[in-house]
Structure 1
Amino acid sequence: MDAPKKIGILGGTFDPPHLGHLKLATHFSKLLHLDELLLIPSGEPWQKDSSITSAEIRFQMTEAAGTDLARAFLYLEIPTQIGIDRIEIDRAGPSYTLDTVKALRDRFGPQVSLTWLMGADTLFNLPTWNSWDQLLSYVNFAVASRPQHALSMEMGAEIKSLLSQHQTIDAGALEKSLFGHIYIDNSLAVDLSSTHLRNQLKSVSRSSIGSEQIPSRTLEIITNLGLYK
């Protein structure tokens, strides 16, 4: 039997996209042998405040980051195809992840492996999402942990229960599974956050931000449009 096509999904506000996003995308694209990776900027992120950058500009920044990511994949010989998807921006109303994974499942069909990529903080925050307990009926989760952090001490009872039912210690299981598995990877250290970078861009240390924090093409858009001042 042929292995299913493997599609990874990295969603987020991307306000702005940063090297942490790209490191996570690169790591899991290689580890999970993804055929395709979708970067999905949220349209109306209902858990964020009203000061968020407009969806179209965030989409533009994510496209720019995707171009840098594609160049990195070419250099690293990672064959994963990259797409920047407007699914949440073009859908009216709050951007609920459940609506997105349902639509992607309808788009790609039942025989494709869909894996949502996230950091450990997102996993811990999952119970605050709309209908979060239904997500694994449509996708797998690939989670980037934080080294030297005791995850079991930081996660709530609901996530511990979720892991007891769905966690696998074999990354290969996500390649074979269409949905329903959680894999936690302990080898990737991602320390950047969009909130921290926005605060830095608003401060006197703005000029110290470089391409080791924000992708160069994204940083160019931020500079040209005078964002986050």
Structure 2
Amino acid sequence: MTSAHLDTPKKIGILGGTFDPPHLGHLKLATHFAKVLHLDALLLIPSGEPWQKDPDITSAQIRLQLTEAAGIDLARAFLYLKIPTQIGIDRIEIDRAGPSYAIDTAKALRDRFGPLVSLTWLMGADSLLNIPSWNSWDQLLHFVNFAVASRPHHELSTEMSPEIQALLEKYQSIDASSLEKSPFGRIYLDNSLSVDLSSTELRAQLKSTSRSAIASEHIPSHALEIITNLGLYK
């Protein structure tokens, strides 16, 4: 695992989030798309100041620690599953002052890796449905692709806004391999993975009496060790 220095990758996945805390849903999403898209590298990017989230989130430095710890578990899973994707934990949003906007990150990563590398933003269907609320959302596909995993309780066909419908009509590809060949501008919807886990719900559950069982079932072991040692989410 590395901290952002990657060996000339041609296909890079981007998984951003508050990671408050990182959970097995994040790791399942990362593992699935690393295989499906044959990613050379995967960047986990904890947000610095998530402008749409609860103001009481855990500090950026601790969330970075948790993400690095979860990256260790993800690297072990990749090794076990013989997935050759490199994993990087990227500080780009934590080091950048002000609110963490996806468009700023997409532009910066495009500048870093150049015009020919395939950059694919990994997300759940709930994030795609919410994208029209993101800053400069309509410019994102000029810099990256989207790979979208289905989520229970978020049915695209019934919840889709006219903006998302228009986006899919213009950019959707039914073939995952098209993202490998396209630096940006493609959307791939994947219905073979369904992750029913969110950090918000997990934080609420961790305040319950069954905290220990919930934590060990849903949080990667290295991240859980930090959470336990620091007494987080009580």
* TM-score, normalized by the shorter chain, greater than 0.5: yes
Which of 79, 86, 110 does residue 84 from structure 2 map onto?
79
SS of 1:161's equivalent in the other structure is helix
Residues 147 and 187, structure 1, Cα contact 8 Å, conserved in 2: no
Change (3 A) 1:80 1:227: same
1:17 has 2:22 as partner:
yes
Deviation sequence 1:90-110 (CA, Å, 0-9, x none)? 000000100000000000001
Deviation sequence 1:134-172 (CA, Å, 0-9, x none)? 000000000001369642101111101100000000000
Residues 125 and 154, structure 2, Cα contact 8 Å, conserved in 1: no
How far 1:49 sits from its partner (Å)? 2.1
Single out whichever of 88-97 and 146-155 deviates more from structure 2. Answer: 146-155
CA RMSD of aligned residues (A): 1.2
Aligned to 2:61: 56
1:134 has 2:152 as partner:
no
Residues 126 and 154, structure 2, Cα contact 8 Å, conserved in 1: no
Change (3 A) 1:148 1:127: closer
Rounded Cα–Cα distance in structure 2 between residues aligned with 1:148 and 1:130:
25
Q: How does 1:38-187 map to 2 (within 5 A)?
A: 38-146=43-151, 150-187=155-192
**TM-score scaled to structure 1, two decimals?**
0.96
Gaps of 5+ in 1: none
1:194 has 2:199 as partner:
yes
Rounded Cα–Cα distance in structure 2 between residues aligned with 1:223 and 1:58:
14
Rounded Cα–Cα distance in structure 2 between residues aligned with 1:25 and 1:172:
17
**TM-score scaled to structure 2, two decimals?**
0.94
SS of 1:118's equivalent in the other structure is strand
Aligned to 2:208: 203
Rounded Cα–Cα distance in structure 2 between residues aligned with 1:193 and 1:221:
19
Aligned to 2:11: 6
How far 1:207 sits from its partner (Å)? 1.7
- The residue type paired with residue 118 of structure 2 is S
How far 1:204 sits from its partner (Å)? 1.5
Rounded Cα–Cα distance in structure 1 between residues aligned with 2:50 and 2:151:
25
1:35 has 2:40 as partner:
yes
Residues 147 and 186, structure 1, Cα contact 8 Å, conserved in 2: no
- The residue type paired with residue 157 of structure 2 is S
State the 4+ residue runs in structure 1 displaced beyond 6 angstroms.
Answer: none
Residues 7 and 35, structure 1, Cα contact 8 Å, conserved in 2: yes
- The residue type paired with residue 41 of structure 1 is P
How far 1:210 sits from its partner (Å)? 4.0
Q: How many residues align?
A: 226
- The residue type paired with residue 108 of structure 1 is F
Rounded Cα–Cα distance in structure 2 between residues aligned with 1:106 and 1:158:
27
Aligned to 2:218: 213
Residues 37 and 179, structure 2, Cα contact 8 Å, conserved in 1: yes
- The residue type paired with residue 91 of structure 1 is R
Deviation sequence 1:77-136 (CA, Å, 0-9, x none)? 000000000000000000010000000000000110000000000000000100000000
